[in-house]
Amino acid sequence: MAKLTVMMDASKPAAALPALLDQMWKDYTRLNPQAQRIHDLFVKAGERVVNDHIALRTYGLPRVSIEVLARPFVAGGYRPGETYDFPEKRLVARHFEPPEASAPKIFISQLLVEQLPAPAQRIIERLVGTVTPATTERFDFCCSGRPWPLSFADYEQLREVSDYAAWVAAFGFRPNHFTVLVNELQRYRTVAAVNALLERHGFELNAAGGTIKGSPEVLLEQSSVIANTIDVTFTDGVHAIPGCYYEFARRYPRPDGSLYPGFVAASADKIFESTNRGQ
């Protein structure tokens, strides 16, 4: 998989963030062409598409932890937000609030590697062990792609215990999904209306936990399409596996009138399944 690069001055993190976010979008839509088609569908309908958040995935090991992936965003003025636990999926996550309301939130999750069976732990530790400090210190490390060689046999072994573990092994460090902020749409004001539009145009929705996750009562509703299939090159051949997906979120006001800024773990738990094989 070829990598996209955008020139950015990492010595000025805040100034470099727009270029980094642009690089992330280009990499994401290259791997996930259905997201570009959905984006263009909204634009054709006269909508202005505003991105609510970008999600990143990683392993809970010091060399590639949430804190490592968050470095360019924190350096550019992002503030740590809430933390979230997903015990069934053996994940933890944290979101980061942007310095400006026009910028997307960043949601970074990591797999609790120590909770996996020993053979899976050994595969992940071997992969992460190939990542050099120089690589993780890159300003664009969070969207630098897969830094290690990977066999399809190892991918399948990881997938047997965790679809999440297998996804990170296959795609490395890059956006797992972008998210349309439904509040900013004019014609499709609800998640239900967005879902109906997507289904009319042949896109398959993630039905885990219902096509709409959350509710006005928890101040957040979300939906997503199922990840498209991508041909990925492994050391032992090319195989088609689930890639990235597009998400849609509607936020509701808190008592003070401001929109709820966080995430709902029970809903996000089901959103993760958009990349599961067989979804």
pLDDT in tens, 250-263: 999 999 999 999 99
Domain assignment present for residue 2? The answer is no
Domain assignment present for residue 71? The answer is yes
pLDDT value at residue 1: 39
Domain assignment present for residue 4? The answer is no
E strand intervals along 23-119: 51-59, 79-86, 91-97, 105-111
Domain assignment present for residue 198? The answer is yes
Domain assignment present for residue 5? The answer is no
**Distance of alpha carbon 153 from alpha carbon 254, whole angstroms:** 48
Give the residue numbers spanning the domain of 232: 13-275
Domain assignment present for residue 66? The answer is yes
Name the DSSP class of 79: E
Looking up residue 24, the CATH number of its domain turns out to be: 3.10.180.50
pLDDT value at residue 273: 79
Domain assignment present for residue 1? The answer is no
**Distance of alpha carbon 85 from alpha carbon 129, whole angstroms:** 26
Confidence of residue 277 (pLDDT cuts 50, 70, 90): low
Q: Express each pLDDT in 48-99 by its tens digit.
A: 999 999 999 999 999 999 999 999 999 999 999 999 999 999 999 999 999 9
Q: Are 74 and 108 in contact (CB under 8 A)?
A: no
Q: Which two tokens stand for residue 48?
A: 């202005």
Domain assignment present for residue 7? The answer is no
Domains in the chain, number: 1
Q: Express each pLDDT in 131-180 by its tens digit.
A: 999 999 999 999 999 999 999 999 999 999 999 999 999 999 999 999 99
Q: Sheet containing 91-97: which strands, arranged edge to edge?
A: 79-86, 91-97, 105-111, 51-59, 175-181, 245-251, 220-224, 213-215
